[in-house]
Amino acid sequence: MHNSSARGLREKIRQAAALFSYYALGATAAAAPNPAPAKLDGRTKAWLWLIALVSAVLSFYYQGNQWVSGDQFQMLNKGFHAALTGEYLPYGNEASTMGNVPGSLSSILIGLPLSLWFNPYAPVIALELIRLLGYALFVNAIVRLFDARTVLFGALIYALNPWFLYDSLLYNPSYLSFGAALVLNMLVRLRKAPGMEQSFWQSFACSMFLTLGVGWCLQLHFSWPVLVALTGLMWLLRAIRFNFAGAAAGLALLGLSLVPYFQEIQVNDYITSNPTEYAKERYFGYGLVHVYPLFKALLYWLRFGSLLVTNKALPELGAAAPLYQEALSYLWLFFTQLVGVISVLFAALVNYRLIFRSRHSQDSSLRFCRALTISALGALLLAAAAATLTLNYWQIIVLFCFALLPLLSAFNRHPLPGRLVAVLAVFMLTSNIISATSSEKFSYRADYAAAVSQYCLSKYDAKSCALTPQQAQELQGLDLTPPRD
């Protein structure tokens, strides 16, 4: 019995070693031409819907537990102003160096849902729908590159990923996933590959929507130049057929939406700069001069394709937490960091294999993923070099969906065992539940709805905030600020 168990263990170790060697050393450089992606059967579609549902439920749980502060207040302020006055401010959140983001999109995303239903959860539901649309665009993109099993795996590691779900709060980076997925979808449609020929009007439409996807991000966050650089590098690598007429049409539509912003800056120059002292000390090229930001940006690319999530997602305990909770917290910390580091090394090997061992592959999807990876890395390093500060994850989260492509291309060639995928799903579910229950930005002790209503009361009267005098009085006495242990 003992010998049988030992043989079984040795066999599992050999299988794991063979799997690791495949990704580390790569298979043959040249592969057969990529077959047409398999059509999704009813069972696969049902799984995709289930993944979307679970992701939405987890995201809603996150949002209900968010501590409302800082950037959320900026978004809510514009939303309340739009819903109660009918004026949609032509600028977004204030950035750390460059003033306010241009455009009315921030006001629309919060103000329009509130004007339809004045309730703290109206913008939450709107955000859920936008992120689900981004999920649909991502799945629609990868179904054009990979087989059905890989599409299912891609949907899983996208929609249940802690990197994705931890951004389920009312601040501007949460909306970037839609714009990024739209850009990825259009790039896939524009790729140069056998059987991918397009008419002028098809490439026109794709290029226009690609530009609008960048424009969506432009009106939310200053990370949008990364997408411009990525697209430009893809064109220089001759990986896509870019229609400049379509791009011009997209730019014209974007320009029309920014007319109120350009009118505003004629009379309000405050929104184009940040007058604080720390902002004056920053300069373009800071990342290149200090070098470290370049390495940090590269590490984020690998981390987006791994399970080493931001430290902000790790559980936080109060000073009075019982000893057993503290012990469990440290055990979870050790386990997650170990898994995270291993997965980062795995992601690094997959990226290395894709970039350096697939140069002569005949697989059109693999060639496209390679070009996309090289372009994304080049765009990321350019952004990190030019940035006025050391980038944090939310400032480049726009690249999250692109960072998954190397993993999917590897999985498509050599799928992971089903049991390992199931364990991965359970791990991500557990990580999200813990992060949404107790972490830096989320806690079961937070009362999102009360915090939003209380903030509304600080700006407007109870009637405008859809509150009774008794509700307003109760809210004014509550301390809803995040604890500082």
Transcribe 27-62 into DSSP letters. S-SS-PPPPPPPPP-HHHHHHHHHHHHHHHHHHHHH
**Helix ranges, 363-417 (H):** 364-386, 400-403, 405-413
Task: Evaluate the CA torsion angle 319, 325, 327, 331 in order and state its sign.
Answer: negative
Distance CA 157, CA 146 (A): 15
pLDDT band at 274 (very low <50, low <70, confident <90, very high): low
Q: 177-213 burial, b for 16+ CB within 10 Å, e for fewer? A: bbbbbbbbbbbbbbbbbeeeeeeeeebbbbbbbbbbb
pLDDT score at 324: 74
Tokens 């302020």, residue located: 77
Distance CA 350, CA 410 (A): 7
Helix orientation angle between 42-64 and 448-459, rounded to the nearest 10 degrees: 50
Tokens 């979307």, residue located: 52
Chain centre to alpha carbon of residue 326:
31
Residue 175 falls within a domain, yes or no?
yes
With vertex at residue 167, the alpha carbon angle to CA 165 and CA 169, rounded to the nearest 5 degrees, is 110
Residue 7 falls within a domain, yes or no?
no
By percentage, how much of the chain surpasses pLDDT 70?
A: 88
Report residue 190 as tokens: 């524009």
pLDDT band at 92 (very low <50, low <70, confident <90, very high): confident
By percentage, how much of the chain surpasses pLDDT 90?
A: 65
Distance CA 396, CA 312 (A): 16
Which amino acid is present at 134? G
Mean pLDDT of 372-379: 96
Q: How far is CA 32 from CA 28, 262, 326, 360, in A?
A: 10, 52, 53, 11
Residue 244 falls within a domain, yes or no?
yes
Residues with Cβ within 8 Å of residue 176, at least 6 apart in sequence: 217, 220, 221, 223, 397, 398
pLDDT band at 69 (very low <50, low <70, confident <90, very high): confident
State residue 450 phi and psi, 5-degree precision.
-65, -40
Domain assignment of residue 176, given as a range: 42-446
State residue 199 phi and psi, 5-degree precision.
-75, 170
Query: Is the confidence at residue 301, as pLDDT, over 70?
Result: yes
Query: Is the confidence at residue 310, as pLDDT, over 50?
Result: yes
**What's 120's DSSP letter?**
T
**What's 219's DSSP letter?**
T
Residue 299 falls within a domain, yes or no?
yes
pLDDT score at 167: 93
Q: 302-334 burial, b for 16+ CB within 10 Å, e for fewer? A: bbbbbbbbbeebbbbeeeeeeeeeeeebeeeee
Least confident range from 5-14, 59-68, 127-136, 296-305: namely 5-14
Residue 26 falls within a domain, yes or no?
no
Are 362 and 28 a contacting pair, CB within 8 Å? no
pLDDT score at 34: 43
Query: Is the confidence at residue 3, as pLDDT, over 70?
Result: no
**What's 396's DSSP letter?**
S
Which amino acid is present at 348? A
Residue 10 falls within a domain, yes or no?
no
Q: What is the pLDDT of residues 111-121, one digit of tens each?
A: 999 999 999 99
Residue 276 falls within a domain, yes or no?
yes
Mean pLDDT score across all residues of the chain: 87
Q: What is the pLDDT of residues 4-45, one digit of tens each?
A: 555 655 565 555 544 444 443 333 333 334 445 558 888 999
Distance CA 125, CA 448 (A): 13
pLDDT score at 198: 81
Are 361 and 367 a contacting pair, CB within 8 Å? yes
Q: How many structural domains are present in the chain?
A: 1
Residues with Cβ within 8 Å of residue 268, at least 6 apart in sequence: none
pLDDT score at 361: 83
Largest CA distance in the chain: 83
Rounded to two decimals, the pTM is 0.90
State residue 218 phi and psi, 5-degree precision.
-60, -35
Mean pLDDT of 71-75: 92
Distance CA 133, CA 127 (A): 10
Residue 207 falls within a domain, yes or no?
yes
